[in-house]
Amino acid sequence: MAALSIGKAWEDSLAFIKREGSLLFPVALLFLSVPMAILQLMIPPDYMQMAPGQTLASLPPLPGTVKLAMILGGIIMLIGSLAIYALALRPGISVAEALRLSIGRLPAVLGASLIVGAGMLFILFAAAMIGGLLSVAVGKAGGVALAAIVMLAGMIYVSTRMLPLSAVIIDRRPGVIAALRETFAMTRGQVGRLAVFLVVALIVILVIQIAVQAIFGIVGTLMLGKEAGRSIGDIAVALAAGAANVYLMVITARIYRQLEAR
């Protein structure tokens, strides 16, 4: 039984993206970057850059059009993500075929995501309860810290176990429960490696987005003013995030192939 190799998955991903980038990046641009940029431009600035100590409850409610756009944008981005998985897992498939497959598997992904989301909420609730109970012994600050640690650990664990879920649903076409069961079984014994990969990948993407926002936001502000600078920064971040997610999804597909072969 071959051990999971993140390094090999990365090398295979680079080779695949170099070969098939002309298919992958246009899909990411149209179905990930464009919806993300539109949403960022529609959401009021107060929501994007909250002042210290400010809460969402203190902000005015989002307009109905923005809420609708968030739902539609989320669905479009999910379709695009599934299409990229299809392109990564099925050599020779066309973009049109990948999009049809992703739309067909959308209900399964949504159903599985709802169950995983419910599991995440349970973890958050349980962690808050544990923190509240322990605060009697360790103090309020200690209880909050312990609750935060339990929440973070639980969310990383669930995210790690469910990492190849979209790849499983696209490649094997199982039902909702079967997809969750197969994904959970596939990642058994690999939590450590996958958790390190996931955390590092998310940190890298976050750093890239912060750097792009800072560079293009500052340049745009100096050239065209504050509002234009913010818009330019948001668009640049959306483009960078779309490209970065291509790499993340392709390497996840390669990790899935290794896990499948074990």
What digits encode the pLDDT tens for the residues 70-116? 999 999 999 999 999 999 999 889 999 999 999 999 999 999 999 99
Structural domains in the chain (count): 1
Which residues constitute the domain of residue 103? 7-44+62-261
For position 157, what pLDDT does the model report? 93
Q: Does a structural domain hold residue 105?
A: yes
In this predicted structure, which of 18-32, 55-69, 193-207, 230-244 has the lowest mean pLDDT?
A: 55-69
Q: Does a structural domain hold residue 2?
A: no
**pTM: predicted TM-score of the whole model, two decimal places:** 0.89
Q: Does a structural domain hold residue 89?
A: yes
Q: Does a structural domain hold residue 124?
A: yes
Q: Does a structural domain hold residue 27?
A: yes
Q: Does a structural domain hold residue 227?
A: yes
* Sequence-ordered list of residues with C-beta below 8 angstroms from that of 201, at least 6 positions apart, any chain: 248, 251
Which spans in the chain are helix H? 6-28, 34-42, 45-48, 64-89, 95-104, 106-138, 140-161, 165-172, 176-186, 191-224, 226-261
Q: Does a structural domain hold residue 54?
A: no
Q: Does a structural domain hold residue 51?
A: no
Q: What tens digit of pLDDT does each residue of 1-40 get? A: 567 899 999 999 999 999 999 999 999 999 999 999 998 8
